[in-house]
Amino acid sequence: MNNVAEVRGVYMKFGSETVLKDVNMDLKEGMIHGIVGRNGSGKTVLMKCILGFLRPVRGEIKVFGKRIGKDCDFAPDTGMIIETPGFIDTESGRANLEYLRRVSAKKPGNMDTEEAMRLVGLDPKSKKAVGKYSLGMRQRLGIAQAIMERPRLLILDEPLNGLDNQGVEDIRRLLMDFQKQGMTILLASHNPLDISLLCGQVYEMDGGVLRSR
């Protein structure tokens, strides 16, 4: 099984505080990988380093064989939800996705905005402004944005936050469907059930130290 991403000896500091300490990780192709840990343990920082949003002070990260920060600035062929997705509150969900599509690099095989919204349980014909969305609806829209370019790697930080029970079931099923299609997923969740149901490989982050369970 090929590695989609490799993290080797990564350290990250903010001022005098070391928030990642010699982190090593392999993301295997076609697997769902989970990260568990308390708030502030370093999970989100690690995800941002893999994506290229933060540069570690030491170590190397490769995504699809490209060294982040050297061969490319940001992780290629990767969709993500990191923290609360940001949208234009005065526009509809569909208008937001279409705007994001225009400013991103298109590639063959992208799904259209209607398909992406329907997959996550949103009505693409609705004119409702995102500012009037519930937290769960915003989360669904964020997932639609993450998947609409059909990335080979999906990095999701607490993607099921704010969803009702049916929404959680819908998104779990969607992620498992994507895995069956060969997508690789890295998922952080506080819900042990999400981790146990979805993840074939689980890591635990504590005080910036990552260990395999």
Token code pair at residue 102: 């225009």
| pLDDT of res. 101 | 81
Q: Residue 190 gets which letter from DSSP?
A: S
Nearest-angstrom CA–CA distance, 6 and 66:
10
Q: Please tell me whether the overall predicted TM-score, pTM, comes out greater than 0.85 for this model.
A: yes
Nearest-angstrom CA–CA distance, 110 and 138:
21
Has residue 116 got a pLDDT over 80? yes
Give the chain's mean pLDDT. Answer: 91
Nearest-angstrom CA–CA distance, 170 and 159:
12
Nearest-angstrom CA–CA distance, 57 and 10:
8
Sequence spans of domains, the chain: 1-77+154-213, 89-151
| pLDDT of res. 106 | 54
Cα three-residue angle 10-13-14, rounded to 5 degrees: 150
Interior/surface letters 29-67, b for 16+ CB within 10 angstroms, e for the rest:
ebbbbbbbbeeebbbbbbbbbbbbbbebeebebbbbebe
Q: What is the mean pLDDT of residues 99-116?
A: 74
Beta pairing partners, 181: none
Has residue 57 got a pLDDT over 90? yes
Binning pLDDT at 50, 70 and 90, where does residue 112 land? confident
Structural contact between residues 157 and 47, judged by C-beta atoms closer than 8 angstroms: yes
Has residue 84 got a pLDDT over 90? no
Given the structure tokens 């992208």, which residue do they identify? 110
- The percent helix, strand, coil of the chain (3-state, each to 5) is 30, 30, 40
For 1-77+154-213, CATH number? 3.40.50.300
Rounded to the nearest 10 degrees, the angle between the axes of helix 135-147 and helix 93-103 is 30
| pLDDT of res. 204 | 95
Nearest-angstrom CA–CA distance, 183 and 43:
21
